[in-house]
Amino acid sequence: MLLEPFQYLLGALSGGLVGLTLGLFGGGGSILAVPLMVYLVGVPSPHLALGTSAVAVAANALANLFSHARRGNVRWRCAAIYTSAGVAGAYLGSSLGKLIDGEKLLFLFALLMLVVGGLMLRTRARIANPAPACTLENAPKTVGYGAATGVFSGFFGIGGGFLIVPGLIAATGMPILSAVGSSLVAVAAFGLTTALNYAASGLVDWPLAAVFVGGGIGGGMLGAFAADQISRSRGLLNTLFATLIFGVALYMLWRSAAALGAA
């Protein structure tokens, strides 16, 4: 697919927003990438937007992972267990997602975002475990959450950080900042698995993915720095995360419902 030069500029700017939210929230990038591709950049096919955004989100997650790792925000053992369980689920989910109408996928995605936003608000003031560890006791829960979020991530064509962050918190009790940093390991792996599956069907625009990633690198550095500052106020990061989810979900519901009604 060939876009106009201005659309590639919009892609770079959109990538900056995605990188910022990935660094700040862990999962915000995957939430914003698809609607930005469809509604701002103007990608005509929801499935093409899903495949392309999966490439961009995976690459931006890797870039932001280094910033969080330097700050000690990544719990590597928990991230590895969670991610390993979810990769197979991401492949299965993405294979199923390609069979569903694109507008219906966007509509279902928005409904899921509302549910997750509500869950994040419910747990915003929970006292976290300052030294989380993945042990034999909580490993089954970590594997279960990882596999489940992998399926959802692949099905909706996203990195799935907005599912992974609460999943890590529920499985291990880690603070949200540790969950944000650790989630980027899974976001990158799930996004890459989904992207490769979509690419095999010709549903990735590689030039757009490249400018999206380029714009996201600077935004990610700023987001990782801001996350350290905001996390010092307990519950604020969770509240901002949930607010972002609600806002984008309502917009997607409005747009996708209008498209389905016109079909």
- Residue 110: both structure tokens together: 């928005």
Residue with tokens 């499985």: 171
Helix (H) or strand (E) holding 24: helix 5-25
Helix (H) or strand (E) holding 214: helix 206-230
Please give the pLDDT value at position 101. 85
User: For residues 29 and 18, is the Cβ–Cβ distance under 8 A?
Assistant: yes
Please give the pLDDT value at position 140. 86
Distance, CA of 95 to CA of 43 (rounded, Å)? 21
Answer whether residue 123 shows pLDDT above 70: no
Distance, CA of 133 to CA of 141 (rounded, Å)? 12
In sequence order, what are the residues at sequence separation of 6 or more whose Cβ sits closer than 8 angstroms to the Cβ of residue 60? 15, 18, 19, 22, 29, 212, 213, 216, 217, 220
Please give the pLDDT value at position 28. 59
Mean pLDDT, rounded, for 49-74 = 84
Distance, CA of 219 to CA of 24 (rounded, Å)? 9
Going by pLDDT thresholds of 50, 70 and 90, the confidence category of residue 238 is low
- Residue 139: both structure tokens together: 């490993």
Answer whether residue 128 shows pLDDT above 60: no
pLDDT, tens digit, for every residue of 141-152?
889 999 998 998
pLDDT, tens digit, for every residue of 24-56?
765 556 677 888 888 889 888 888 988 998 888
Residue 176 has φ and ψ, to the nearest 5°, of -65, -35
Answer whether residue 16 shows pLDDT above 70: yes
More confident residue, 215 or 118: 215
Nearest CA to 155 among 167, 147, 166? 147
Please give the pLDDT value at position 204. 92
Highest-pLDDT range among 73-87, 118-132, 209-223: 73-87
Please give the pLDDT value at position 196. 93
